Amino acid sequence: MKKAWTICAAIMVFGLTLTKAQGILDKADRTLNKADKASNTADRASGTADRAGGLGKKISGLFGKKDKAEGGTSTTIKFTGVDFAALKSINEKVQSATGVTSSKMKYSPSGSTIKLQHAGSTEDILKALQKVSPATFSEKNIGGLDDGEILVSIK
């Protein structure tokens, strides 16, 4: 009989210990579930932000891209038949023209370029360049004029 009571007491003690252990495991499981929910919420928010950004790009695409830089309009002047000294001189004169905010020069024996940032249209800047350097930008030297591009052939 004494053994039965000892076995019964041992079962009760182990039962209580197992119950406490199960409670600890349940708490850990709930904590992991909360972390998973938070992670899923963050993922959904990220997906929503990505979709909103895509929508913003689509809407801005409806209005068209502006092909103008911060300084206004961008125009490339392409030269043929010009040496480096002449191109450098032309670039200095171009920088002094009204409406020009910046210029970038690239030299090559086969064909050189000056990229301009300026106010107004390409035709407006050509008129200003003809005032600053009439010999270089005379009508006989102009090989082509397009929106954002001027072709100049120096003979």
Question: 69-100, pLDDT tens digit by residue?
Answer: 455 789 999 999 899 999 999 999 999 998 89
**How is the chain split into domains, by residue range?**
1-65, 73-153
Determine how many CB atoms are found less than 10 A away from the CB of residue 22: 10
pLDDT tens for each residue of 96-129: 998 899 999 999 888 899 999 998 899 999 999 9
- 96: DSSP letter: T
pLDDT tens for each residue of 25-54: 788 888 888 888 888 887 777 777 666 666
| Mean predicted lDDT score pLDDT of the chain | 82
Sorted by sequence, the CB contacts under 8 Å of residue 109 that are 6+ apart come out as none
Torsion-angle region of 42 (φ positive above 0: left; ψ -120 to 50: alpha; else: beta): alpha
According to CATH, the topology of domain 73-153 is: Alpha-Beta Plaits (3.30.70)
